[in-house]
């Protein structure tokens, strides 16, 4: 007599599928962030009064190696005004914010032309600063 | 005789998803930290232009010159702590916005940190910052 072998039903565990999908979603949302400059090294200057910068689609950064970046991509000062103007397009006043992130030790010969370029492009400049700790 | 069976079974909460939950929490707080809203100081920048009238006006405005560590008002060296009262005194009699323009001339090696401190003091004193670069182009900055 032949004894039939007992078969077990094996399934791939699907408990964590929701979590995996959620993680993938977050991952792609971070990647899709257009102006990601979190990989750049800079230290903000300090000031006593700060306010919220609000939403912005343009970010200009001078890092601790005195390199200039527009929305996380390295750029030359001569191209900056044109690129900022293009990014701002026909946005109305109040929606033309340009975040300026400058390393605290950057020199005037670097950041003043940047301010001039943003001015030429018609941007509303917001200096990104850190609140000074009271003594 | 009636035997009484105990039904107090040890029930443990399911812990198979604890690792996933912890991982999700880490990701959530990392994302929150990376998208924290920026804060700083707003400045309005009218387009730079140069007119003869502005050149004439410039000579009547307060001039602040910055080097790496020092600041001067109309050529007189001023300490940072004395800067605000001194500038307030100079701007006290000036009512028109165009008279309250303060021309800031920075040497090439002036650090951003110092520039931000001084321009912040000018705005606190009620002045309107105008940057003058070495090639004589001016940019008006201020409220």
pLDDT per residue over A37-47, tens digit each? 777 889 999 88
> Residue A119 pLDDT more than 90?
no
Does residue B3 belong to the interface with chain A, where contact is any CB pair within 8 Å?
A: no
Average pLDDT on A30-59 reads 79
CATH class of B52-141: alpha beta
Residue A9, in any domain of the structure: no
CA distance A21 to A28: 11
Question: Residue B37 is nearest to which of A33, A53, A127, comparing CB atoms?
Answer: A53
Give the strand pairing for A58-62 and B101-106. unpaired
Instruction: Report the pLDDT value the prediction gives residue B21, as an integer from 0 to 100.
Output: 77
Does residue B24 belong to the interface with chain A, where contact is any CB pair within 8 Å?
A: yes
> Residue A132 pLDDT more than 60?
yes
Instruction: Report the pLDDT value the prediction gives residue B36, as an integer from 0 to 100.
Output: 62
Alpha helices, H only, B35-99: 52-58, 80-91
> Residue A128 pLDDT more than 70?
yes
Question: Residue B27 is nearest to which of A26, A52, A116, comparing CB atoms?
Answer: A26
A67-106 pLDDT, tens digit per residue, is 999 988 899 999 999 999 999 988 888 888 899 999 999 9
Which residues from A are below 8 Å from B46, CB to CB? Answer: 119
- Structural domain total, chain A: 1
Residue by residue, pLDDT tens for chain B (143 residues) are 555 565 667 777 777 777 777 877 887 777 776 666 678 888 765 455 555 555 555 557 889 999 998 999 998 999 988 999 999 998 888 888 888 888 899 999 999 999 999 998 998 888 888 888 765 555 666 55
Confidence category of residue A35, pLDDT binned at 50, 70, 90: low
> Residue A54 pLDDT more than 60?
yes
Three-class SS state of A124 = strand
**Tokens encoding B124:** 């606190």
**Does A104 sit within 8 Å of B45, measured CB to CB?**
no
Residue A54, in any domain of the structure: yes
Which of A22, A23, A16 has the alpha carbon at shortest distance from B14? A16
Residue A51, in any domain of the structure: yes
Cβ-contact A129, A46 below 8 angstroms: yes
> Residue A120 pLDDT more than 80?
yes
Instruction: Report the pLDDT value the prediction gives residue B23, as an integer from 0 to 100.
Output: 79
Owning domain of residue A108: 37-131
Instruction: Report the pLDDT value the prediction gives residue A38, as an integer from 0 to 100.
Output: 75
Matching residue, tokens 């370029």? A117
Q: How many CA atoms lie within 13 A of A111 on its CB side?
A: 28
Q: What is the pTM of this model?
A: 0.72
Cβ-contact B48, A119 below 8 angstroms: yes
């Amino acid at each position: 007599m032949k004894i039939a072998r007992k078969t077990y039903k094996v399934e791939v565990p699907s408990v964590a599928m929701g979590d995996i999908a959620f993680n993938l979603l977050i991952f792609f949302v971070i990647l899709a962030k257009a102006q990601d400059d979190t990989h750049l090294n800079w230290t903000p200057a300090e000031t006593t009064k700060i306010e919220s910068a609000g939403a912005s689609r343009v970010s200009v950064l001078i890092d601790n190696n005195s390199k200039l970046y527009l929305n996380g991509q390295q750029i030359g000062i001569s191209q900056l005004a044109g690129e900022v103007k293009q990014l701002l397009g026909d946005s109305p006043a109040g929606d033309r914010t340009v975040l300026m992130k400058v390393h605290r030790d950057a020199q005037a010969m670097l950041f003043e032309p940047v301010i001039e370029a943003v001015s030429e492009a018609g941007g509303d400049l917001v200096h990104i600063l850190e609140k000074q700790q009271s003594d | 005789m009636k035997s009484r069976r105990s039904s107090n079974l040890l029930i443990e909460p399911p812990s198979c998803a604890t690792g996933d939950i912890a991982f999700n929490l880490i990701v959530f707080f990392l994302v929150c930290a990376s998208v924290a809203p920026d804060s700083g100081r707003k400045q309005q920048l009218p387009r730079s232009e140069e007119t003869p009238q502005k050149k004439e006006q410039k000579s009547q405005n307060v001039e602040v010159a910055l080097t790496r560590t020092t600041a001067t008002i109309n050529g007189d060296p001023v300490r940072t702590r004395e800067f605000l009262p001194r500038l307030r005194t100079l701007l006290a009699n000036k009512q028109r916005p165009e008279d309250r323009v303060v021309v800031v001339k920075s040497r090439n090696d002036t650090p951003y940190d110092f520039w931000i401190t001084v321009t912040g003091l000018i705005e606190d004193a009620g002045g309107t910052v105008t940057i003058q670069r070495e090639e004589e182009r001016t940019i008006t900055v201020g409220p």
